[in-house]
């Protein structure tokens, strides 16, 4: 009987620890997806209390404890019931995550301290004896660790804040020292609600024709991302460093510019991206404009004249200002005769008395604007429009940013990266330019738009109605405003299908799409925002 009881106890503890590990890993991942930001993580937890916070298994486990205490259930049965209660971890598995958990040094520290805090909870309960039986105390401790795992993760991260700040300040100091030793290096900094990455790679392609140029990879636009590139990749040969500067909260731009003060600053746009954290468009514009205050008197500000918020930034600047326009308006650099096709776009860029035709594989008016911003930088570096046109012709579309792919005769417009109102409208416009019999939009809608999210998604629905023949909405709750916009624009509801996951949408396309059809994938929500 002792051996049998021991086996049952081992099974019960094993299942409890397995579930705790799965659940904790889920919250580690989610916390990382929110950029280690406590307010965003807490808001998400508050919205998912009955989904991932308190589960049926916790209530069942509480019943096991109460029943074991009142009925004096033997330990072998108690632990087997506990194993049954916590055997499921399906909700905490992401079989096909869009972005995997990365075990960075910071995440390892958070996980380690979370484990210590969990053991402390068990120690207190086992030896604090709320029950008279050690087995009930142990199971209570394991149950509480499971229940409180998101708060334990948050507490561990909070306790480590002084450590993280000290480590980060060391990296920042190293980057500042490195850049201070390079007076011959010109720093090009790019900010804006949309288009930063596309502009960055266009600048890299242009400048690399003549100068050794370093650019931050992907979306390395945070303080630690920029520090990592400067500290590890910047060499004495580089003459330009092209840095993308992201922003979600007030003061983010200043923090980045104090690491790398720009010589040339670009503002691509101001829009409702991250409105949930900033509160208003005016606050976003003010934060984006703050990059210009870090320019030296001999610096250059390159501004998107087509954006009224960006256009207003040129007033009162103590530096040289260059403007660009993709709408035909007179500016220092502007485009005319824009034409689109399945192979990309063609247009003419004008600058002063100089004009030259350009061809690009990129699609959408917003990409013409991105190219104009990059051309302005190239001009400052002494390159002619003719020279830059060759670089732009070589420029490859960036994955998931309105990239056109052909798969077995099916044309796929992949615009799945971080959708926004301007980019989404441009993507739908490009879709409408195709003369295919079936034009399908697959979207879960746009997020992080604060109080305007529903209204902007409703407008997006009306825009889709003018270009698409079929619509697949991913997630019934988030896409409700898009559905309403489609209906208000008179779109046939027989051609609207609401699915729970992107995989269901792909199954529909595989079953119904024919060669020559065009499918636009507009946005792909991060894992923490998916409804299924």
Which pLDDT score is estimated for 93?
61
What CA–CA distance (Å, rounded) separates 483 from 182? 54
Q: Is the pLDDT of residue 385 over 90?
A: yes
What gap in Å lies between CA 143 and CA 170, rounded to an integer? Answer: 39
Assigned superfamily of 182-394 = Mur-like, catalytic domain (3.40.1190.10)
For residues 288 and 304, what is the distance between their CA atoms, to the nearest angstrom? 12
Report the pLDDT value the prediction gives residue 90, as an integer from 0 to 100: 66
Higher pLDDT, 33 or 340: 33
Question: Across residues 442-464, what is the average pLDDT?
Answer: 88
pLDDT grade for 448, boundaries at 50, 70 and 90: confident
Q: Taking the CA of residue 449 as centre, how many other CA atoms within 13 Å lie in the half-sphere pointing to its CB?
A: 20
Cα 148 from Cα 10, distance rounded (Å): 23
For 510-521, the pLDDT digits (tens) are 888 888 889 999
Q: How many degrees, rounded to 5, is the angle at CA 46 between CA 44 and CA 52?
A: 75
* pTM listed for this prediction: 0.80
249-270: average pLDDT:
95
pLDDT at 155: 96
Q: How high is the mean pLDDT of the chain?
A: 89
Position with higher pLDDT, 418 vs 283: 283
At residue 274, does pLDDT exceed 80? no
pLDDT of residue 424: 87
pLDDT of residue 96: 58
Q: Higher-confidence residue: 159 or 6?
A: 159
- pLDDT at position 531 over 60: no
Confidence of residue 133 (pLDDT cuts 50, 70, 90): confident
The confidence score (pLDDT) of residue 449 equals: 78
**Banded model confidence at residue 135, pLDDT cuts 50, 70, 90:** confident
Average pLDDT over every residue of 232-239: 96
pLDDT mean over 293-318: 93
Strand order in the sheet with 333-341: 213-215, 240-244, 186-191, 264-267, 300-304, 320-325, 333-341, 344-351, 354-360
Confidence of residue 379 (pLDDT cuts 50, 70, 90): very high
- The pLDDT, as a whole number, for residue 476 is 86
**Which CATH class name applies to 403-529?**
alpha beta
> Is residue 34 over pLDDT 90?
no
Chain region(s) in the chain for CATH 3.40.1190.10: 182-394
Write down the H helix ranges in 34-133: 38-47, 56-71, 75-85, 105-128
- pLDDT at position 290: 96
Who's near 118: CB < 8 A, 6+ residues apart? 20, 145, 149, 152
Question: Is the model's pLDDT at 79 over the cut of 90?
Answer: no
Examine the pLDDT at 455 and tell me if it is beyond 60: yes
**How large is the angle between the packed helices 134-159 and 161-180, nearest 10 degrees?**
30
pLDDT band at 525 (very low <50, low <70, confident <90, very high): low
Q: What percent of the chain has pLDDT over 70?
A: 96
Q: How far apart are CA 275 and CA 161, in angstroms?
A: 26
Do 294 and 301 form a contact (C-beta atoms < 8 A)? no
Domain span(s) for CATH 3.90.190.20 in the chain: 403-529
pLDDT, mean of residues 184-211? 95
Tokens of 431: 């879709």
Residue 526 has pLDDT above 70, yes or no: no
Side by side, the strands of the sheet bearing 518-522 are 403-407, 410-415, 518-522, 439-443, 470-474, 496-499
pLDDT at 523: 81
Report how far Cα 505 is from the mean position of its chain's Cα atoms.
22
pLDDT at 51 > cutoff 80:
no
Helices 75-85 and 134-159, axial angle in degrees (round to 10): 40
Is residue 124 pLDDT above 80, yes or no? Answer: yes
């Amino acid at each position: 009987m002792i051996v049998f009881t021991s086996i049952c106890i081992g099974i019960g503890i094993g299942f409890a620890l397995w579930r705790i590990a799965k659940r904790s890993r889920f919250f580690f991942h989610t916390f990382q997806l929110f950029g280690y930001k406590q307010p965003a993580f807490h808001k998400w937890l508050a919205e998912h209390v009955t989904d991932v916070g308190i589960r049926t298994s916790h209530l069942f486990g509480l019943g096991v404890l109460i029943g074991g205490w009142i009925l004096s259930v033997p330990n072998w049965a108690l632990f087997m019931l506990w194993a049954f209660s916590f055997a499921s971890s399906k909700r905490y598995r992401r079989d096909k995550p869009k972005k995997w958990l990365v075990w960075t040094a910071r995440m390892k520290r958070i996980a380690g301290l979370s484990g210590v805090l969990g053991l402390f909870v068990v120690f207190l309960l086992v030896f604090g004896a709320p029950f008279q039986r050690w087995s009930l105390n142990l199971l209570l401790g394991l149950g509480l660790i499971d229940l409180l795992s998101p708060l334990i993760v948050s507490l561990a991260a909070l306790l480590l804040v002084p450590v993280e700040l000290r480590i980060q300040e060391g990296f920042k100091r190293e980057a500042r020292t490195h850049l201070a030793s390079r007076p011959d290096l010109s720093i090009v900094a790019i900010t804006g609600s949309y288009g930063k990455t596309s502009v960055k790679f266009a600048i890299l392609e242009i400048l690399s024709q003549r100068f050794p140029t370093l650019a931050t990879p992907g979306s390395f636009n945070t303080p630690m991302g920029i520090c990592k590139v400067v500290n590890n990749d910047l060499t004495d040969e580089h003459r330009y460093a092209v840095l993308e500067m992201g922003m979600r909260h007030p003061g983010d731009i200043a923090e980045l510019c104090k690491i790398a003060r720009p010589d040339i600053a670009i503002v691509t746009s101001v829009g409702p991206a991250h409105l949930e954290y900033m509160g208003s468009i005016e606050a976003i514009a003010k934060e984006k404009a703050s990059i210009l205050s870090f320019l030296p008197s001999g610096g250059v500000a390159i501004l998107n004249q087509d954006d009224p918020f960006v256009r207003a930034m040129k007033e009162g600047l103590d530096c040289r200002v260059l403007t660009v326009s993709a709408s035909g308006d007179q500016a220092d650099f502007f485009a005319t005769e824009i034409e689109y096709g399945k192979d990309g776009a063609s247009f003419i860029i004008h600058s002063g008395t100089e004009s030259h035709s350009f061809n690009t594989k990129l699609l959408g008016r917003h990409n013409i604007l991105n190219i104009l911003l990059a051309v302005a930088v190239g001009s400052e570096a002494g390159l002619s429009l003719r020279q830059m046109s060759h670089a732009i012709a070589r420029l490859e579309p960036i994955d998931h940013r309105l990239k056109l792919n052909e798969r077995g005769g099916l044309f796929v417009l992949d615009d799945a990266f971080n959708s926004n109102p301007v980019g989404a409208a441009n993507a739908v416009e490009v879709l409408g330019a195709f003369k295919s019999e079936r034009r399908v939009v697959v979207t879960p809608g746009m997020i992080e738009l604060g109080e305007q999210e529903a209204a902007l998604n409703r407008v997006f629905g009306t825009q889709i109605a003018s270009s698409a023949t079929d619509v697949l909405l991913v997630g019934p709750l988030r896409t409700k405003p898009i559905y309403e916009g489609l209906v208000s624009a008179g779109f046939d509801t027989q051609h609207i299908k609401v699915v729970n996951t992107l995989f269901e949408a792909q199954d529909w396309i595989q079953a119904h799409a024919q060669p020559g059809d065009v499918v636009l994938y507009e946005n792909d929500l991060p894992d923490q925002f998916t409804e299924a």
